[in-house]
A and B are shown apart, each in its own frame.
Chain A
Amino acid sequence: MVRAIAGPAELLNKTRERYPVVFDVLGGAGLWVLFAGLLIAALILYTQLFVVGVIFGSIIALGAMGLTLIYGIMKFAHFAHGDMMMLAAYLAFFALTGRIVGERTEVDLGWSLDRLPGATTQLGPLSFGYGLLLAMLVALIATVALFIALDYVIYRPLRQRGSGIVIFAMTSLGIAITVRSVILMLWGAEPRFYVKGIYPAHHFPFGITLKADQIFIFATVAIVATVVYLLLFRTRIGKAMRATSDNPDLARVSGIDTDQVIRWTWAIGGALVAVAGVLLAIQAQLKPELGFTILLPLFAATILGGIGSPQGALVGAIIVGVTQEVSVEFVAPGYKFAVAFVILILILLLRPQGLFGAKA
């Protein structure tokens, strides 16, 4: 009976070994068709869920784009990515409200962004004022600085020692735990929000209802993704990053300054993490555990898209987002995040290089 289950998987592996080209082409094309079909089906049958999935997926996309850059250029799985997103969100919260958790009550540290005139006045239909935007900027700068500092103090010595990818992964996990504890220490375990209150949803054709905040999220992601695209495809350092991701040895041989490339990678990754974190907190809430919960969808999107490919991360994230939302129609809501894991396993089995990845 054990054979019956092990059998098909072994068969899959053997088939892949014997007919690699066919498998690859069919697999690649097949996956594209499958996902395109799924997305279209979701769009038509579960339009509202599809739209929500796209919103959530776009938040994941920003995180995954940073993750895939780090993975592709520095060749390691940055397990601290999700918790850093939450840290950035909390930093923005702190900048906005100046509040941390005191002995038994909240402590207000005197000045904060929300004291600026009109900072909390809602911008149009959005739930927040320009204060939050400034806070996001503060969080962005802080996160970029933190990433670069961490690289200098921790990851660079590991690189110089020639540590393997497992050591890097474990170290980033240790950092993730540390970051989560800091969040808990400073802001406690209770969920928080940037602004209080319920905000109305607007109705659109085809049965779609969205809050203004969600449209803001989507627009922000679109803008940021475009900026990243321009950076990677139109600037010298961006091309150098892509080159290093392709072939780090050749990059060095060509004279590319890999130190500079790495710094930029952390900087861009940090900026993406900050924006994604704040957007996530707007969409959902500020909760310390969210950092770990979000790791699976982040990695699923990154691997589905193909490590090293930001466009792949974007597409992968949308697929993960939509699949998660639509899955609620078929399985209990508690399984939502586990769906990302199922996608991950399927990809690793069928096409480990992902949709956009090159066959190594």
Chain B
Amino acid sequence: MTVLEAREVVSGYGEVEILHGVSIKVEEGEIVTIIGPNGAGKSTLLKTVFGLLPCKRGTVFFGGEDVTGQPPQAMVRKGMCYVPQSDNVFPSLTVQENLEMGAFIRRDNYRSKIEEVLALFPDVTERRHTRAGKLSGGQRQMLALGRALMLEPRILLLDEPSASLAPNMVQLVFAKILDINRSGVAIVMVEQNARESLKLSHRGYVLAMGQNRLEGSGESLLESEEVGRLYLGG
């Protein structure tokens, strides 16, 4: 079943229009990557879907329900969580407190969930009482992912999860993303690192200048000459 669909979405910042009618679809349990040159509107798409930016035209469906224009707080309740590219942890809160904040709207006892999430990221678990500001880049990225998992979302929106990470951390992050997906969470991610992300994606979209350019399975995009030439950079 289609867990997320964006249809002909037009949006941007203030007067400036970035997306001129973009459509994507994500099926249950899929990993979908969105790649494209800078300024193509990849992050804008994620933010519009999540309700951080107003959707000027077009519709967004989540689990079949029309959620266009609903604010982030509503999306989070419905089961869609978002991890921003930067500033994605609360630096003066400890690791544990960051996760607790992820579960803010949960009314039940989420202690076990915290342990569960921490188990996914052993490196971070050791530092559970350290303030997040003191973590390394990679650890912070893990924590950011963990925070988003606290609500057991159906889908995760990730904005450039590998940005500014060392290569070995990049591998680690993508491995974690795969683990998360295997537990049943659909993933939509925007990535600059097209090669690595397409490798683990079921499907992918190529955006350029605010419009759809290509789409296909992860492998077909990886192998496509055009994509390789333009976007994978060898």
Chain A complexes with chain B: yes
Q: Which residues of A contact B (CB under 8 A)?
A: 236, 239-240, 242-243, 245-247, 249-257, 308-309, 358
A358 touches B92 (CB 8 A): yes
B84 touches A249 (CB 8 A): yes
**Known A246-B92, A255-B73, A255-B77: A239·B101 in contact at CB below 8 Å:** yes
Q: Which of B86-127 contact A (CB under 8 A)?
A: 87-93, 97-98, 100-102, 104-105
B interface residue count range (under 10 / 10 to 19 / 20 to 34 / 35 or more): 20 to 34
A249 touches B151 (CB 8 A): no
Q: What are the 6 closest A-B residue pairs judged by CB atoms, nearest first? A: A255-B76, A246-B90, A243-B90, A255-B105, A243-B101, A256-B104
* B37 interface contact, C-beta 8 A: no
Query: Complex: how many Å from CA A308 to CA B90?
Result: 13
Q: How many A-B residue pairs lie within 8 Å, measured between CB atoms? A: 68
Chain B contacts of A239 at CB under 8 A? 93, 97, 100-101
Closest Cβ of chain A to B166, distance in Å, is 20
- Interchain Cβ contacts under 8 Å between A and B, 18 examples: A236-B104, A239-B97, A239-B101, A242-B90, A242-B97, A243-B93, A246-B90, A246-B92, A246-B93, A247-B87, A250-B88, A253-B82, A254-B76, A254-B101, A254-B148, A257-B105, A358-B91, A358-B133
- The interface bits of chain B over 60-71 (1 if a CB of A lies within 8 angstroms of the residue's CB, else 0) are 000000000001
**Known A250-B89, A255-B76; further 17 A-B contacts with Cβ < 8 A:** A236-B100, A239-B97, A242-B97, A243-B97, A243-B98, A249-B87, A250-B87, A250-B88, A253-B52, A253-B82, A253-B84, A255-B77, A255-B104, A256-B101, A309-B92, A358-B92, A358-B133
B90 touches A250 (CB 8 A): yes
Chain A contacts of B102 at CB under 8 A? 254
Closest Cβ of chain A to B157, distance in Å, is 10
Taking a contact as CB atoms closer than 8 A, the residue among B91, B100, B105, B151 that contacts A246 in the complex is B91
Closest Cβ of chain B to A246, distance in Å, is 4
B73 touches A242 (CB 8 A): no
Query: Complex: how many Å from CA A358 to CA B98?
Result: 17
Query: Complex: how many Å from CA A256 to CA B90?
Result: 13
